[in-house]
Structure 1
Amino acid sequence: MSDRWIEVAPRVWARRLKELDQTLGLVIGDDCCLVIDTGISAEAGFEYATAIREKTDLPWQVAYTHDHFDHWFGTSAFGESAVWAVGDGAQYIGRGDEQRTAWAARYRREGREEDARRIARSKLVPPNCQVKGAIGLNLGGRTVVLRQVGPAHSDNDMVIEVPDAGVLFAGDLLENGAAPSYDGAFPYEWPQAAEYLLSWKPKVVVPGHGDPADYWWARAQARDLAEMARLCAEVAQGFLSEEEALAHNPFGEAQMRAALDRCKALTPPPPEPQAAVAEPGPSLPPPVIVYDVLDYDIDMRR
């Protein structure tokens, strides 16, 4: 598959990438456009920016759906612009440095030296506009909604709603063609977030990876996320064994194991045992008060 555009609604585009089967987004208004995620490296971001200029010459703003590297390492190619996200700049830089080191090492182990170099030399651009709750962003003749959702796939998920077109850019809250990743996720909260973001029944749902799909596809995946949460809860409560959950889940053994491990990591440890304290003995019955018997001299002659 080569990189290509898919028009999901008038002036609303999904950019399908071969690398990681990723899906980026573009929403065009009358005055500016919104770029949704920017790819895995500065080079990937440059290719994406060049492709956008084939669609529009309007100024752009950028939105990050979350802080995983493949969604924002390409932003340096877009120059100075507003960059919207739920997480703050320090969080993005700290986690970005960790991910850059880890993925460069992974690519080198796979013999992909040039990919490792691309990530290593990509300049990290943290967000400069923080989203809390939801905001409406006026692009000129069209308002998009940037909405904080979660915790779910991460602790800083954000979706982008295009109400006039009935389109939802869901980031990695939903994936098409691959199982969702539970590394760093919140398995119990994730299905609740998915149900919430689908409550307005968008016509088109654009996942973070895979082809755009409709509301009913997204609803089915939300049910699968709920089943994963139920299995995790039943294992934690002792109703199911881990082996049963690994064998009977909608996404596969690797995802189930990751979800179970994540639930264990998120469960607070039991309280420290307290020093033994002697319990008081059984209560004694109240003392018996014995009254003295008094001798009364009673004159019965009266």
Structure 2
Amino acid sequence: MTDWVEVADRVLVWRQPVLDVNAVLVLGDAGALVVDTLSTPAQATELADAIRRVTPLPWRVVNTHHHFDHCYGNAVLAPDADTEVWAHTECLARYDRWIAEDGGKERVAAIAAEFDIPGLETVTLRGPDRAVPGEVTLDLGGRTVDLRHLGRGHTDNDLVVVVPDAAVVLAGDLLEDGAPPSFDDSWPLEWAGTVAALIELGPSTVVPGHGNPMTPDAVAAQHAELAALEWACRDGWRDHAPAEEVAAKAPFGSVLAVQRAYAFLDGAL
């Protein structure tokens, strides 16, 4: 059975084996914050039960970005309007659009067809309802947390959650441990700058979207790779080098990352 790991004072990580994704619980004196809600109703129900084993406090939810493995448990963790779900403005807009079209059925079906995860096809989309355009501070009672959009990187709607009194930053998929980043919705020419802004927050512990908690040195190493990728893309575009050639020499080896960088520099993204 998956169990909580306390990485700092009252900051607990629930590491879901499917996709090795992290959900996080931050406890205050009067309330709790659940950061990301996993992929399926079954995963989210297990997470909710685990939260109740730790605390009876009411909770609010944060989605670090719009991807299914961080949001598709929303309907379980926030079944009605009494439970707030916070996310960046662009994340909220996406879910509003998908749900307005057909209740989100087409979007869920497309994701379920792409990812072979049992129960994914049964998801009811529940989007965020509290927007974070830049920065919001939430009071959990005796403890505050900051929700901050530091810039684009993994997506255009990445949020980090800062727990100042524990020197912890929850990074979502701006950082990953044990696997290369996903570049599907990425902004490769801005990602390193966004991670640099995260480093400037001075965390002692960073919880990535997937994998083990990261030390400042590990974060710095991933930032260096993202910066090297950025400049490989800029140099390749300037030299009219094929994306495949640049990717073969750049960190992570992602042709898609180079293609997206080129599209941005061409004004097509």
Contact 2:22–2:210 (CA under 8 A) maintained in structure 1: yes
> Which range is displaced more, 166-175 or 230-239?
230-239
Contact 1:69–1:99 (CA under 8 A) maintained in structure 2: no
> Considering only aligned residues, what root-mean-square deviation do their CA atoms show, in Å?
1.9
Q: Which residue of 1 is the match for residue 113 of structure 2?
A: 105
Q: Which residue of 2 is the match for residue 263 of structure 1?
A: 261
Q: Which residue of 2 is the match for residue 233 of structure 1?
A: 234
Larger Rg: 1
Indicate yes or no: 2:66 matched with 1:83.
Answer: no
Task: Give the secondary-structure state (helix, strand or coil) at the position aligned to 1:3.
Answer: coil
**How many residues are aligned here?**
259
CA distance in 2 between partners of 1:232 and 1:150 (Å): 19
CA distance in 2 between partners of 1:243 and 1:85 (Å): 35
Contact 2:136–2:146 (CA under 8 A) maintained in structure 1: yes
Indicate yes or no: 2:7 matched with 1:4.
Answer: no
Task: Give the secondary-structure state (helix, strand or coil) at the position aligned to 1:164.
Answer: helix
CA distance in 2 between partners of 1:196 and 1:234 (Å): 23
Deviation at 1:239, TM superposition (A): 7.2
Q: Residue type of the partner of 1:138? A: D
* TM-score between the two structures when normalised by the length of structure 1: 0.81
Q: Which residue of 2 is the match for residue 38 of structure 1?
A: 37
Deviation at 1:5, TM superposition (A): 1.6
| Change beyond 3 A, Cα 1:95–1:201 | farther
Contact 1:93–1:124 (CA under 8 A) maintained in structure 2: no
Matches within 5 A, 1:243-254: 243-251=244-252, 253=253
CA distance in 2 between partners of 1:41 and 1:250 (Å): 32
Deviation at 1:219, TM superposition (A): 1.1
Indicate yes or no: 2:70 matched with 1:71.
Answer: yes
Contact 1:4–1:17 (CA under 8 A) maintained in structure 2: no
* 5+ residue gaps, structure 1: 271-302
> Which range is displaced more, 257-266 or 185-194?
257-266
Q: Which residue of 2 is the match for residue 17 of structure 1?
A: 16
Deviation at 1:149, TM superposition (A): 2.3
Q: Which residue of 2 is the match for residue 202 of structure 1?
A: 203
Contact 2:247–2:258 (CA under 8 A) maintained in structure 1: no
| Percent identity (aligned) | 40
Matches within 5 A, 1:38-187: 38-78=37-77, 79-80=79-80, 81-86=83-88, 87=90, 89-94=92-97, 97=104, 99-107=107-115, 115=118, 118-187=119-188
Contact 1:173–1:208 (CA under 8 A) maintained in structure 2: yes
Task: Give the secondary-structure state (helix, strand or coil) at the position aligned to 1:85.
Answer: strand
Deviation at 1:206, TM superposition (A): 0.1
> Which range is displaced more, 31-40 or 232-241?
232-241
CA deviation map 1:203-247 (0-9, x unaligned)? 000000001111111111011111111111111000755454233
CA deviation map 1:137-183 (0-9, x unaligned)? 11000000000122211111100000100100000000000000111
| Change beyond 3 A, Cα 1:44–1:185 | same
Deviation at 1:91, TM superposition (A): 1.3
CA distance in 1 between partners of 2:68 and 2:25 (Å): 19
| Change beyond 3 A, Cα 1:243–1:129 | closer
* TM-score between the two structures when normalised by the length of structure 2: 0.90
CA distance in 1 between partners of 2:20 and 2:13 (Å): 12
Q: Residue type of the partner of 1:85? A: A
Q: Which one has the bigger strand percentage?
A: 2
* 5+ residue gaps, structure 2: none
Deviation at 1:41, TM superposition (A): 1.3
Contact 2:108–2:125 (CA under 8 A) maintained in structure 1: no
CA distance in 2 between partners of 1:26 and 1:269 (Å): 40
Contact 1:206–1:212 (CA under 8 A) maintained in structure 2: yes
CA deviation map 1:261-294 (0-9, x unaligned)? 1123333459xxxxxxxxxxxxxxxxxxxxxxxx
| Change beyond 3 A, Cα 1:124–1:243 | closer
CA distance in 1 between partners of 2:97 and 2:41 (Å): 18
